[in-house]
Amino acid sequence: MLNSKEIVNHTKDLNILFVEDHEDLRVNTAHILTKFFKIVEVAVNGVEAFEIFKEDKNKFDIIISDIQMPLMDGVELTKKIYSIKPNQTIIILSAYDDAKYLHELINLKIEHFLKKPIDYQDLLKALLNASRMVNNIKKDGTININNIKLNEIFTFNKDNSLLYNDKEMITLTKFEMIFMQLLTDEIGKIYSNDDISNYYVSYGETLDAANIRKLVSKLRKKLPENTIESLYGVGYRLVPFM
């Protein structure tokens, strides 16, 4: 279970904009956010949020937006923000009846979703994941380049968790991204199942030994041959590219 002190370590120097048209949810959630972020601002719809955003496109490290809002919905707001700042970190609030919007948002490369009604632990998890991503991005809006070569043409960028085959991006799931982040922290180091499970806990996720094996099996199909080495009864490591 995540605790607030752990999250504050990642969020205390960040600013957030919260966009929600329902007053009670907006007020209550904004109050919670003030415990984590340096600056918290709110907007009641997409039009107001976009006007606030345009005043200083680099002010807000994270934006949390509902999908269904009057005047401008969360999908249109996301498109407008990305047209100005493509690497803006956005968390989308989605209710059970928002399914028709989700495919479009995924195509827009939204990576962070939070279900309504908001569960406190789910909120902490979303804030942790988003703030970790933000802290890997420079304040001027450019991405720190930290490419790990896996072979002559495959690279993994630790700053944005993207895998490339030459210039083609290979789609990774969230769990695969986390696994690659761990393996590339110290290339060649053997990580046991306990090491891996504990690492996922730090992201607010759980992964047991059986699912680790399944994850590795699927991830290997996306990587160059023999990139991940498994040592029976010991663990897994990323084979250094020489």
Give domain 4-134's CATH architecture.
Answer: 3-Layer(aba) Sandwich (3.40)
Mean pLDDT per block of 10 residues along the chain (242 residues) reads 81 95 94 96 97 95 93 93 91 76 74 84 87 65 64 86 86 92 88 92 89 95 92 88 69
Contact by Cβ (8 Å): 7, 131: yes
pLDDT given for residue 242 in this prediction = 60
The structure tokens listed for 160 are 């944005």
pLDDT at 98: 62
DSSP the chain: ---HHHHHHHHTT-EEEEE-S-HHHHHHHHHHHTTT-SEEEEESSHHHHHHHHHH-TTS-SEEEEESS-SSS-HHHHHHHHHHH-TT-EEEEEE-TT-HHHHHHHHHTT--EEEESSPPHHHHHHHHHHHHHHHTTB-TTSPBPP-EEESSSSEEEETTTTEEEETTEEEP--HHHHHHHHHHTTSTT--B-HHHHHHHHHHTT----HHHHHHHHHHHHTTS-TT-EEEETTTEEEEPPP-
Domain 4-134 and domain 147-238 have a common topology: no
Burial of 152 (0-12, 13-18, 19+ CB in 10 A): exposed
Write out the two tokens for 34: 């003030």
pTM of the model: 0.59
C-alpha–C-alpha distance, residues 14 and 61, integer Å? 6
Bridge pairing between strands 112-115 and 89-94 = parallel
- The fold for domain 147-238 equals Arc Repressor Mutant, subunit A (1.10.10)
Domain locations along the chain: 4-134, 147-238
Q: What's the pLDDT score for residue 240?
A: 83
Res 115: pLDDT: 86
Residue 154: the pLDDT is 92
Q: What pLDDT is stored for residue 140 in this prediction?
A: 46
Short-list 146, 222, 217, 211, CA closest to 184 = 146
